[in-house]
Structure 1
Amino acid sequence: MDPEAAKPDGDGDPVGRVLGTSDATPLQFWVAVAPGAYLQLDDVVVTHRELPDGSTVNIAGVVTAVRARHEGAAFDSDVFAIADGTLPAQIQEAAEITTTRVTPEVYVPPRPGAVVHRARDKARAQALYFDRMDRQVPIGFGRDGEPLFLNADFIDGQRGAHVSISGISGVATKTSFATFLMYSMLRSGVLGGAGESANTKALIFNVKGEDLLFLDHPNAKLDDATRASYARLGLPAGPFPDVRVYAPPRAGANDATPDVSSRLAGVDPFYWTLAEFCDKGLLPYVFADADDERQQYTMVVHSVTAHLKKVAAPAEGAITLEGVRIASYEHLVDHLVEQLGDESTRFAWTGTAVGLGTVNAFARRLINSKRDLSRLIRGDLAQRRPHSINTAESAQLTVVDLHNLPDRAQRFVVGVTLKTEFENKEKSGTAKPLLFVVLDELNKYAPREGASPIKDVLLDIAERGRSLGVVLIGCQQTASEVERRIVTNAAIKVVGRLDPSEASRTEYGFLPPAQRQRALIAKPGTMFLSQPDIPVPLCIEFPFPGWATRPGEAGEPPVSALRSIVQAKDPFAVVGAAVGGLSDDDIPF
């Protein structure tokens, strides 16, 4: 290769020439790598072709395969003779290039022998369409160590919305990447002015341990190298500045003490009163398994829900049903079972003639819910402080802890919370401010088969959320088991480490064959991200979190964060406030 080959402005060093022994097409071609140079997967390159009219076409692409072979060898055993020096041969490397951008859009193939350059700076930005992204969201670094970006238009609803993140549990770092993406969206300034960014809300459901309860604490393991990485991405290295944590009351407790063990300050309990349960029609979310909607007893569910809304009357935290005072969820269940078991009252509750077997099926499932939901649906707690999850009146980032709840209770909380938030956005009639919802284990809440109230809400968010400013960031082990309409409505698709059988499914058709194979061995922190702007998914590595991801990493929270807690005049949250450096003078009550 001619070392003096012309290098147009913006191009990096020459790395090879377009191969002449393999077909070159406008969308794919091979490059013979020059001696002393190399190309690795995901490198960005650019070459040029001059047309008869004197104009130049720039053809940029990404390396999607690399090979090396002996030229001059005829048999497999020749490798030994070549190594011994008794058979002349030459090692030649070649790289497959998948075209990402052609400017101007004249789709001609590059000529064999054309010089290929490693794309740098302006040429790299053009090859990956970064120059056309008015609002760039930093998402990590490429294999070349340079920053990569996501077009915010495809996540906040302007041109698309929703994110689907797939990968093996515990290895693919799905939740870690979703949290980093949320941090980047909120802290990069792409959402507009300071007011708009501050008004944007995020809702995260914590389902694994207490790892997400310390997002407002700096990571004690943060080092200078990581801080420098964040600086290169244009982000501050630190915790989320405005976080509110909710947790369910402890099981069997007569008060609303949050059921958490590692975080002592700044945790609010959440629950629903019996009056809210009846008035808001929450009974269907007690039966939130995807298979339940296919059963006949769901007719009874909807009839009982309507009748409860009609006859239940609030009574100092409890309710009265036709003169009977109900003060607990267990009592409510027993009363409903009694009413449905009595022939004289059954019709009033069901609204139609229903077989005893159907009623019994409903009653059995309702009775089984007492153990799981009794601490969440209360009639015995005086409402001395807010107990509802409402992101509009909460911090910028709201974390709802579910990890201590059984499966039925988790489904109830997720379903009711999403229903309430979506209805609030519908009532507001505007897409601003945005609400981001991060939900793990999406395949559990919106499986491909069956129907449930939660699945209906998630489908509504996937199909109409963009226009209402509700953005779903869904994480799942297997995208093939998630409702197809939810996955296909996600403008951004992200994949971490995949199981071999899962990687072969059609849901990952956006990955080139080489990236599908790489996804089988991807290390934690490596993700493949597909966005509409770029025809080839990007391999990214995102930096170590600046916030604590587990109790052992939690440094002291900022004094300003703790001061916001005490200003809310919440005596339960003040416990442990001195850890953040607050004095008695800072506590106004």
Structure 2
Amino acid sequence: MGELAPPDAHGPVVGRVLGTADATPLQYWVAVAPGAYLQLDDVVVTTRELPPTGGEQPGPVAIAGVVTQVRARHEGAVFDSDVFAIADGTLPAQVQEAAEITTTRVDPEVYVPPQPGAVVRRAEGATRAAALYFDRMERTVPIGLGRDGAPVFLNADFLDGSRGAHVSISGISGVATKTSFATWLLYSVFRSGVLGGAGETANTRALIFNVKGEDLLFLDHPNTRLDAATEKAYSRLGLDAGPFPDVRVFAPPRPGDLTGSPDVASRLTGVDSFYWTVADFCADRLLPYVFADADDDRQQYTMVVHSVTAYLHRHAQPADGGVVLDGKRVNSYSDLVDLISERLADDETRGEWAGTAVGLGTVNAFLRRLVASAKDLSRLVRGDLRGSAPHEINTAESAQVTVVDLHNLPDRAQRFVVGVTLRSEFERKEKAGTARPLLFVVLDELNKYAPREGTSPIKEVLLDIAERGRSLGVVLIGAQQTASEVERRIVANSAIRVVGRLDPAEASRPEYGFLPPAQRARALIAKPGTMFVAQPELPVPLVVEFPFPAWATRPAEAGAAPSATLRSLVQSSDPFAVVGAGSRAAPPGGSLPDDDIPF
């Protein structure tokens, strides 16, 4: 890491290593020089000369770190009330600021403490990039600006599965901007060209589940609130500001609508319906996804779930969207529920459908749950839309970004759609047997689909993605208000962890132990757009501010939709060719405009 030496290549002097506090190779304090200042997250560097060994004079050891705490005090004061006398000038004292530095990098790797009194300089340019390991990142994704106004990067190797995968984003709903950061991360990945040439970028997909309002239905519309200052912020990160150019939106059919029109209010064009035929429901064994705990062995009724699922798979015969089962035509999910209820209530057919070892009480427990699901799933499992082909969510045949709208669905129906869709996508990747094309899955409210306690078919799919998705090219970007309530194995497999504004009770949980104490306290007051990002190569999470979205985040911000000509061109081999190739981010340590851009 030669970029940290020689000392005269560093930035301005900001202080000296403090002599009244212990200095260790991993942490030390700096007395801030008069006329200078250090704030949290600043990057600094100091050096230490080593004595000769074996007749050779070793070079200086450079020790770089990040400011993790800052304090100021009166030196010479004894009592608390002395502050008034000092302010009046009747008691001599001096104000002294000191900053705690957490070491990020040592070059060469000789772990010795810095000497008290050693000069400490602000790290800038290539020195800053080396201190934060940006110089060792072969492929970088810009994720925002640091407190010093310089770009902050993510190592793409820990995002696309090369060395790690998956992202966990936590924070208070409505304040932590979890979904905004997830979409910004996708935008930066696609626009920066980090995934290779145009062909590879075009074949990288994203699947986004929209669970709150219709805010994510306008990703392909420019944001009318975009101004020149925001465009400059994007430029500083090496990106063009604009909407996602290749987006396809799916929504559930309207209840009771025999035409299958999508149930959306604000976006009237460019939306497709999604649903499953009754024949698909039986043939693909989808019944377990109706129940939240169908894989929980502690629940005896789950035996009935799997027995009925197997019976439907064996005996249901497709018939124009519906099925013929036991000689009866079934054209809807409600009809299917009625038929199952009838067969399980009959003593002669109950054993064939549910198994001979199952008691009547267990069967009734299954039926109560099944009958309750009819209202929620009737518009998703259809046999009455004979005039139109079923709309299957298949990212391989969709746009670069596929948005699945769930906000109008009840909780049970949302779970069904998420579980079945993820299972289908994961099975396609397994059959393909290759990690490319890469598929990013953005799922909010992860604690609802993969809770820490219990088990379900949806949770098992998400666990499979977390543990095997890296090798198959499936990357989970999960967002939740409380990481402490998400399955531990999913959080543990996330190479990138992001935290926004936190609830005080949640911030005290051990899941946030990777945050230094000062950052954990700051997370309680973090403003929207400020995120704490931890990645494997850095011992300290970096605080970043990401720019205001250049795409519409709600109907009121949506500009004109892209034309058909633009869309057809965008769906060529280079999805960003029309909107602009997107200038590559400045190489770590390279020069970027340093004017102050507000976010």
Match of 2:592 in 1: none
Distance across 1 between alignment mates of 2:473 and 2:390: 25
Distance across 2 between alignment mates of 1:346 and 1:290: 20
Give the count of matched residue pairs.
563
Q: Report the AA paired with residue 171 of structure 1.
A: V
Q: Does 1:480 align with 2:484?
A: yes
Contact 1:7 1:14 in 2 (8 A): no
Distance across 1 between alignment mates of 2:100 and 2:475: 36
Q: Report Cα offsets for 1:441-467 as digits up to 9, x if no partner.
A: 000000000000000000000000000
Contact 1:216 1:239 in 2 (8 A): yes
Structure 1: state its 5+ residue gaps: 1-5, 568-589
Contact 1:18 1:114 in 2 (8 A): yes
Of all paired residues, the percent bearing the same amino acid is 78
CA 549–50 in structure 1, closer or farther in 2 if over 3 Å, else same: same
Match of 2:339 in 1: 335
Distance across 1 between alignment mates of 2:264 and 2:539: 45
Match of 2:39 in 1: 40
Contact 1:272 1:378 in 2 (8 A): yes
Q: Report Cα offsets for 1:371-416 as digits up to 9, x if no partner.
A: 0000000000025345000000000000000000000000000000
Structure 2: state its 5+ residue gaps: 52-56, 572-599
Match of 1:584 in 2: none
Choose which of 113, 117, 137 in structure 1 pairs with 2:141: 137
Match of 1:104 in 2: 108
Match of 1:23 in 2: 22
Q: Does 1:115 align with 2:115?
A: no
Match of 1:579 in 2: none
Q: Does 1:304 align with 2:308?
A: yes
Q: Report the AA paired with residue 434 of structure 2.
A: T
Contact 1:290 1:447 in 2 (8 A): no
Q: How far does residue 7 in structure 1 lie from its aligned partner after superposition?
A: 8.0
Choose which of 551, 556, 562 in structure 2 pairs with 1:558: 562
Choose which of 388, 413, 421 in structure 2 pairs with 1:384: 388
Q: Report the AA paired with residue 517 of structure 1.
A: A
Q: Report Cα offsets for 1:546-581 as digits up to 9, x if no partner.
A: 0000000000122257754999xxxxxxxxxxxxxx
Distance across 2 between alignment mates of 1:238 and 1:456: 37
Q: Report the AA paired with residue 26 of structure 1.
A: P
Q: Report Cα offsets for 1:159-201 as digits up to 9, x if no partner.
A: 0000000011111110000110011111110111110010001
CA 293–270 in structure 1, closer or farther in 2 if over 3 Å, else same: farther
Q: Does 1:279 align with 2:283?
A: yes
Match of 1:410 in 2: 414
Match of 1:583 in 2: none
Q: Report the AA paired with residue 21 of structure 2.
A: S
Contact 1:10 1:119 in 2 (8 A): no
Contact 1:328 1:374 in 2 (8 A): yes
Distance across 2 between alignment mates of 1:347 and 1:122: 73
- Give the secondary-structure state (helix, strand or coil) at the position aligned to 1:294: coil
Choose which of 225, 233, 236 in structure 2 pairs with 1:229: 233
- Give the secondary-structure state (helix, strand or coil) at the position aligned to 1:237: coil
Q: Does 1:265 align with 2:269?
A: yes
Contact 1:28 1:99 in 2 (8 A): yes
Could you state the TM-score of these two structures normalised by the residue count of structure 1? 0.94
Contact 2:246 2:567 in 1 (8 A): no
Contact 1:446 1:458 in 2 (8 A): yes
Match of 1:12 in 2: 11
Match of 2:169 in 1: 165
Contact 1:161 1:492 in 2 (8 A): yes
Aligned pairs for 1:561-576 within 5 A: 563-564=567-568
Choose which of 234, 252, 255 in structure 2 pairs with 1:251: 255
Contact 2:279 2:322 in 1 (8 A): yes
Q: How far does residue 277 in structure 1 lie from its aligned partner after superposition?
A: 0.3
CA 501–353 in structure 1, closer or farther in 2 if over 3 Å, else same: same
Distance across 2 between alignment mates of 1:293 and 1:392: 35
Could you state the TM-score of these two structures normalised by the residue count of structure 2? 0.92
Distance across 1 between alignment mates of 2:565 and 2:300: 50
Aligned pairs for 1:348-367 within 5 A: 348-367=352-371
Distance across 2 between alignment mates of 1:273 and 1:470: 27
- Give the secondary-structure state (helix, strand or coil) at the position aligned to 2:7: coil
Q: CA RMSD in A?
A: 1.6
Aligned pairs for 1:49-68 within 5 A: 49-52=48-51, 53-68=57-72
Distance across 1 between alignment mates of 2:464 and 2:362: 29
Q: Does 1:374 align with 2:378?
A: yes
Q: How far does residue 290 in structure 1 lie from its aligned partner after superposition?
A: 7.9
Q: How far does residue 353 in structure 1 lie from its aligned partner after superposition?
A: 2.2
CA 36–98 in structure 1, closer or farther in 2 if over 3 Å, else same: same
Distance across 2 between alignment mates of 1:316 and 1:291: 31
Match of 1:575 in 2: none
Contact 1:497 1:522 in 2 (8 A): yes
Distance across 2 between alignment mates of 1:341 and 1:514: 62
Distance across 1 between alignment mates of 2:564 and 2:376: 37
Match of 2:464 in 1: 460
Q: Does 1:82 align with 2:86?
A: yes
Match of 2:322 in 1: 318
CA 562–407 in structure 1, closer or farther in 2 if over 3 Å, else same: farther
Distance across 1 between alignment mates of 2:95 and 2:265: 61
Larger mean Cα displacement after TM superposition, 393-402 or 346-355: 346-355
Aligned pairs for 1:371-450 within 5 A: 371-382=375-386, 384-450=388-454
- Give the secondary-structure state (helix, strand or coil) at the position aligned to 1:340: helix
Contact 2:292 2:456 in 1 (8 A): yes
Contact 1:7 1:13 in 2 (8 A): no
Q: Does 1:238 align with 2:237?
A: no
Q: Report the AA paired with residue 38 of structure 1.
A: Y
Distance across 1 between alignment mates of 2:570 and 2:492: 44
- Give the secondary-structure state (helix, strand or coil) at the position aligned to 2:362: helix
Distance across 2 between alignment mates of 1:175 and 1:554: 17
Contact 2:295 2:302 in 1 (8 A): no
CA 280–9 in structure 1, closer or farther in 2 if over 3 Å, else same: farther
Q: Does 1:202 align with 2:206?
A: yes
Q: Report Cα offsets for 1:501-544 as digits up to 9, x if no partner.
A: 11111101100011110001111111100000111000111000
- Give the secondary-structure state (helix, strand or coil) at the position aligned to 2:537: coil
Q: Report the AA paired with residue 38 of structure 2.
A: L
Distance across 2 between alignment mates of 1:565 and 1:368: 47
Larger mean Cα displacement after TM superposition, 558-567 or 474-483: 558-567
- Give the secondary-structure state (helix, strand or coil) at the position aligned to 2:11: strand
